[in-house]
Structures are given as C-alpha cells and as structure tokens.
Structure 1
Amino acid sequence: MNNNSMADAALNRLVVFARYPELGRVKTRLAADIGAEAALKVYRQLLAHTRAVVASLPVHKTVWLAEAGPAADLTDEWTGYEQLPQPAGDLGEKMQAAFAHDFERQASAVVIIGTDCPGLTTAHLTDAFDALRTHDVVLGPATDGGYYLLGMKQLWSSLFTGKSWSTDTVRSATVADVKQLGLRLHLLSELSDIDTGADLRAWEATTGKTFEQGLRVL
C-alpha cells in the first residue's frame, strides 16, 4: 500500500448497526416463522459473518448498538470497534446521525452496513470504498427493494428523509434522491438480506446449503 492509499484508508470509516444477541428481541420477523431460539442462532451466525468479512479492512470501525434488553448477551464482543448507542428516531434519523458523527471528524468516506446479509464479502466492502474515490454515493441493493450498504463522501440529508423504511420502495426512493441531487452513483451487486422465513428458505434454495453450512464457506 502506497502512502496515498494509506492516507485514504486512515480517513475511511465503516459503520455497523447491530443489536446484542437476545432471545425474542432479534430477527423478530424471522422468529415468527422459525421460532425465537432458531432466529437467535441465525442472528449469532450473521454477527459472526459480518465481523469476519470486516476484520481485514484497514478502516476505522464503529458499531452503533441498539438498547439492550434485560436478557441481552452483553458479553458479545466488538473488540477493535468504537462502540456507541443508537440514537432515538427512525432508521433514517439513526443513519443520518451515524454519518454526521464521522463526517464531523473529517472522514473522507463513510460506509454503513447492517448484520442481515449473508452474501456480504470483504470484496464488496473494498469495492465500496474504492468506488467512493470517483463517485459520490455507493449503494448495495438488496433483493427486497432496500439496500444492504450505503456509502457517501459527504452528508446528503435528503437520502434519509421521506422514506418508508423496511419497505420495497427504499432503494428506488434513494436512487431518485441521488439523481435529483446530480450525484455520481455506483451500484454494487444485488444481495439478499435475511429478515423472514421466506428469505431464509430462498437463500438456502439458491445456495443449495443449509444456512449454517453456507456461512461457513462465505
């Protein structure tokens, strides 16, 4: 890595939105189909997968954690991450606060992800930061009409307002905002989130593996 690349990496920030593992409070839509204990197991696997693909990135990492319930597993480790509590508000308000936090600290590029995407790889994250050298916004589209990744070089607040969060209109509304602002957009490959039992079954059917087997080889 040359000096310019090292300088760029030092100003890059990765944000992860997550929850502590807790029975009945994680993956609730999935739990409605496969049961709370099975959903908790899936969530722990997704957390481990997310940490694994993030581990080698030479960027500052922050995890914004939802408020823990009384039975939360507070021993869940985020070693090497700055840890902050998620603020109040809807998802858009929370994401805007996270981007603002890093841009106020002179970040040159900020990328945000969740912990729902078993197809996410280190290469997707590297591509996102690379794209932000020549583009204003990078989006990782999800098959459900949302997105699994959003990155930008400065804060554009309109990307976080006027959205019906957790619906299939989020991606199209965000892309429309980017176009209206005249920004350069880079799209990553489309991936699937695991939010429901149908998502889980579709992912297993597509990969030909059980969820646990699939995550071990990603």
Structure 2
Amino acid sequence: MARRSLGTLVVMGRLPQVGVGKRRLARDVGDLAAWRFYRNTLKALLRRLGRDRRWQVCLAITPDQAVSKVAGVPREVSVVPQGRGDLGQRMGRFLRRLPRGPVVIIGSDIPGIEPRHLTRAFRVLGRKSWVFGPAADGGYWLVGAARRPRLRMPLPFDQVRWSSPQTLSDTLSGLRGASYGLLEQLDDIDSGADLDRYRRAVSR
C-alpha cells in the first residue's frame, strides 16, 4: 500500500554553470571547483530526496529558461521556473500557489540535508503553522508552512534583510504571532573554509 504523502518539497536551485553562482566559494577555490561542488551537491540532493515517496518533489530552477536544460533529475522530480523577484517573492509564490497541504522549501547548496530532516519538518507542521531550519550565519536552510488548507495569512518575507545575520530574526518577526518550530542547525557552503569544514566533518 502506498504511503500517504506528507506534503510538497520545493528545492530552490540554479542551473549549474561555470562562473555563475557560488561566487564567494569560487573566489576561494576557483570557478571550476565551485561549479563541480554545486553540480554534484544538487544531483546528490535530488537523488537522495527525490525518490522518497513520502513527499512530492519540485525543483524550482533559475534562470527560468533553464527548465529544459537541467540534467540528471530523477523522473519523480518535476522541474519548474522560479520566476522573478527577490527570494521572498519567489518562495511566496510556491507557498501560495501549490496544491493544498504542507509545503517545505530548501536550498540546493546544503549537502548535509537528509530525509530525516524533511520528516522532522513535516512533523512539526502537524502542530505548528511554520517551521524553519536555522543556519549559523543568521539565515535559514529550510522554511515550511502548514497551509491549512491554504495559506491565508500574510507572508513573513516583506521586511527581510536577505543574506544578512538578521534574515531569520526578520522572518520570525514577520510571522505576527503565528506558531513555529525550529529544526537543527545546518549550513550551506559559501566559502572555501565552509567547504573544508564540511569535508572534515564527513571524513570522521
């Protein structure tokens, strides 16, 4: 018997291209190494999470015209354009427009994400309206909304200072008292030092 879907997982990604994206990392390790890291991380993430039947997976890609150019995507994963706007506007469209049920959104450059993190996030949304996965830099690697049955409250992204130490705190302030839960801290790979720490951690 097929398991009931817990909800929808949206992976926010960029078409892997040499010299495009991950600029801080590229300054430390070079364009080719940064491209290789991102390409491999995205492929591994989709393979690890995309074939799990507990959730529906959607890869939201940028630039929009790259939808047909993404390679190595499991057939279970749908690929759609992110659309225009800042990160909050792009995430907000998915939270507003996807079919009813919980939605969880993650980035595509966090190699530590495992199915257990998603399971925990969807469980939190069974009790809370929102869930976040905090990062050490003040941002977050995951945001999710219960949407019972759809998201009717204002989105919390309007006054967020993106890519700053205040990103998570600004978002939480925008919840206007709605309930939320926090997951464990994970970090994306933005620099050569981040990459070195991650490699040391996984080699233990």
Q: d(CA) in 1 for partners of 2:128 and 2:187?
A: 24
Match of 1:164 in 2: 161
Among candidates 10, 16, 19, match of residue 15 of structure 1: 10
1:119 pairs with 2:112? yes
CA distance in 1, matches of 2:78, 2:197: 34
Tell me whether 15-24 or 56-65 shows the greater mean CA deviation: 56-65
Q: Tell me which residue corresponds to 2:97.
A: 101
Does structure 2 conserve the Cα–Cα contact (< 8 Å) formed by 1:63 and 1:82? yes
Q: Report the Cα offset of residue 66 of structure 1.
A: 0.1
Q: For residues 85 and 15 of structure 1, what CA distance do their matches in structure 2 show?
A: 11
Q: What is the aligned-residue identity percentage?
A: 33
Equivalence for 2:188: 193
What corresponds to 1:174 in structure 2?
171
Counterpart CA distance in 1 for 2:55 and 2:75 is 14
Aligned twin of 1:145: 138
Partner of 1:38: 33
Mapped contact 1:57–1:122 kept (Cα < 8 A): no
Task: For 2:154 and 2:38, locate their aligned partners in 1 and report how far apart those are by CA, in whole Å.
Answer: 30
Instruction: Mark the runs of 5 or more structure 2 residues left unpaired by the alignment.
Output: none
**Matched residues in 1 for 2:70 and 2:39: separation?**
13
Structure 1 Cα separation of the partners of residues 115 and 154 of structure 2: 27
Q: Per-residue CA shift, 1:135-171, capped at 9, x if unaligned?
A: 1111000111100000011234431111111111111
Please report how far the alpha carbon of residue 189 of structure 1 lies from its aligned counterpart in structure 2 after TM superposition. Answer: 0.4
Matched, 1:51 2:53: no
CA contact (8 A) 2:139 2:167 kept: yes
**5+ unaligned residues in a row in structure 1: which ranges?**
none
Offset at residue 68 of structure 1 (A): 6.6
The structure 2 residue matched to 1:183, chosen from 178, 185, 197, is: 178
CA distance in 1, matches of 2:24, 2:75: 29
More helix per residue: 1 or 2?
1
Whether the 8 Å contact between 1:140 and 1:149 is mirrored in structure 2 is yes
Amino acid in structure 2 at the alignment position of 1:22: Q
Q: Is the 8 A contact 1:18 1:115 kept in 2?
A: yes
Instruction: Pick closer, same or farther for the CA change 1:170–1:176 going to 2, 3 Å.
Output: same
Deviation at 1:176, TM superposition (A): 2.3
Q: Which residue does 1:27 correspond to in 2?
A: 22
CA distance in 1, matches of 2:11, 2:87: 13
Q: Is contact 2:62-2:81 (8 Å) kept?
A: yes
TM-aligned CA distance change 1:66 to 1:78, over 3 Å: farther
Distance in structure 1 (CA, Å) of the matches to 2:142 and 2:158: 17
